[in-house]
Structure 1
């Protein structure tokens, strides 16, 4: 299990992932797409990289809006695993 990030490390991580916000012990990003199927295709891509990393985000789909919530439940907050997955997800979007 990864260790929780200290405040300084968390702030540095959020600077590397500027589209993400810290909310309730998690990194959160909302991404809006043009079409519903674009959102679904994106979620399927996230599922593939999450499965490879063996670290799975909470995902909420609301028509063309996808909300991703990254936290390490066993650790009770954000760890390096969340930051690494956030960066990989950013590569899909950006």
Structure 2
């Protein structure tokens, strides 16, 4: 694993068989929707789509490369972009 792959925010969990997961608490549903819109921009730029769950008070981001059946550098790059966006 490269240094970049290990420099993720501690809020990320690496769950075996599921991928990199981060739960982002939000103040409201509208705040969550705005975050999802920003995540969509990252996804379009990187051409890598995360799984996103939006609820009334949180956004759950899951990164896993199904074609490789593992967490890849692309997932780590997306996670780093999320970290730059929200800390």
Fold shared per TM-score above 0.5:
yes
Q: Root-mean-square deviation (CA), in Å?
A: 1.7
Q: Residue 21 of structure 2: which of 28, 31, 37 is its match?
A: 28
| Deviant stretches of 4+, over 4 Å | none
- The aligned runs of 1:56-75 (5 Å cut-off) are 56-75=49-68
**Which stretches in structure 1 are left out of the alignment for 5+ residues?**
1-8
TM-score of the superposed pair, with normalisation by structure 1: 0.83
Note if contact 2:32-2:55 (Cα within 8 Å) is conserved in structure 1.
no
**Which stretches in structure 2 are left out of the alignment for 5+ residues?**
none
Inter-partner Cα distance in structure 1 for 2:58 and 2:41 = 19
